[in-house]
């Protein structure tokens, strides 16, 4: 099984984390929601698998292309 890094598309703040470590995910399931320029931006799973690590917490600032989670693909 491959480990897939989930990266941000924009700079912003982690508004809400909707998944937890160990959760099974389908491709395009929402893992967390970022807030950037007063817009909510969902971060979706790029593949199916199991969420093995979340590298940020709610209210953290994130940069564009930052790794924020890791999925073990199925």
- Is the pLDDT assigned to residue 29 strictly greater than 90? yes
Q: How far apart are CA 17 and CA 60, in angstroms?
A: 11
Q: How far apart are CA 18 and CA 1, in angstroms?
A: 24
pLDDT, averaged across the chain: 96
Domain boundaries, the chain: 3-73
pTM exceeds 0.75 for this model: yes
Mean pLDDT value of segment 14-43: 97
Which top CATH class is 3-73? mainly beta
- Is the pLDDT assigned to residue 74 strictly greater than 90? no
């Amino acid at each position: 099984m491959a480990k897939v890094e989930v990266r941000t598309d924009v700079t912003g703040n982690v508004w809400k984390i909707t998944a937890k470590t160990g959760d099974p995910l389908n491709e395009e399931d929402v893992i967390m929601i970022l807030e950037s320029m007063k817009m909510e931006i969902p971060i979706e799973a790029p593949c199916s698998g199991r969420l093995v690590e979340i590298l940020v917490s709610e209210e953290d600032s994130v940069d564009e292309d930052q790794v924020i989670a890791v999925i073990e693909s199925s």
